[in-house]
Amino acid sequence: MSRITRVISLILILCLLCSASVNALAVGDGLFSFFNREEEVTVTKSEYEALKRFEKLAEIMDVVDAYYYEEPDKDAMLEYAIWGLLQGLGDNYTFYYPPESWKQMWEDDEGVYAGVGIQMLANYQDNTVTISRVFKNTPAEEAGLKKGDQLVRVDELQVTAESMQEAANLMRGKEAETVEIEVIRRGENIVFTVGRRIITVNTVEYTMLEDQVGLLILYDFSGDCVNGFTEALKELRKQGATALVVDLRDNGGGWVDAAEKMADLFLDKQLLFYAEDRFGKRIENYTTDGKDDIPLVMLINGASASSSEILSGTLRAAGRARLVGTQSYGKGIMQYVIPLSGMNGEEDGMQITFAQYFMPDGTAVHKVGLTPDVIVEMPEELVNEYFELGDMSDPQLKAAWEEAIKLRQDETLGAEAADIPDQAQPQEIDWTVSTEDLCPAAVKM
Task: Output the CA–CA distances (angstroms, integers) from residue 76 to 165, 167, 344, in the order listed.
Answer: 17, 19, 11
- The pLDDT score that the predictor gives to residue 66 is 93
Query: Which of the two residues, 123 and 422, has the higher pLDDT score?
Result: 123
Q: Which domains does the chain possess? A: 3-72 (no CATH), 112-200 (2.30.42.10), 204-444 (3.90.226.10)
Query: Which of the two residues, 56 and 14, has the higher pLDDT score?
Result: 56
Confidence grade of residue 321 (pLDDT, cut at 50, 70, 90): very high
- Taking the alpha carbons at both ends of the chain, their separation in whole angstroms is 27
**How do 349-358 and 333-339 pair as beta strands?**
antiparallel
Inform me whether the pLDDT recorded for 344 exceeds 60. yes
- The pLDDT score that the predictor gives to residue 39 is 56
Minimum mean pLDDT range among 128-137, 160-169, 407-416: 407-416
**3-state SS class at 218:** strand
pLDDT, tens digit (0-9, with 9 covering 90-100), for 41-51: 577 888 888 77
- What is the arithmetic mean of pLDDT over 276-304? 93
Inform me whether the pLDDT recorded for 16 exceeds 80. no
Minimum mean pLDDT range among 46-55, 265-274, 342-351, 435-444: 435-444
d(CA 326, CA 376): 6
d(CA 147, CA 137): 14
- Which amino acid appears at position 96 of this protein? Y
Residue 356 bridge partners (DSSP): 276, 333
- What is the arithmetic mean of pLDDT over 150-172? 91
**3-state SS class at 32:** helix
**Averaged confidence pLDDT in the chain:** 83
Inform me whether the pLDDT recorded for 158 exceeds 60. yes
Inform me whether the pLDDT recorded for 136 exceeds 90. no
d(CA 249, CA 383): 12
pTM of the entire structure?
Answer: 0.74
- The pLDDT score that the predictor gives to residue 214 is 98
Please enumerate in sequence order all residues whose Cβ is within 8 A of that of 88, keeping only pairs 6 or more positions apart, or say none.
none
- Which amino acid appears at position 53 of this protein? R
Q: Exposed/middle/buried for 219, CB within 10 Å: 0-12, 13-18, 19+? A: buried
d(CA 353, CA 333): 7
407 and 243 in contact (C-beta within 8 Å)?
A: yes
Confidence grade of residue 23 (pLDDT, cut at 50, 70, 90): very low
- The pLDDT score that the predictor gives to residue 21 is 35
- The pLDDT score that the predictor gives to residue 412 is 63
- The pLDDT score that the predictor gives to residue 314 is 94
- The pLDDT score that the predictor gives to residue 414 is 54
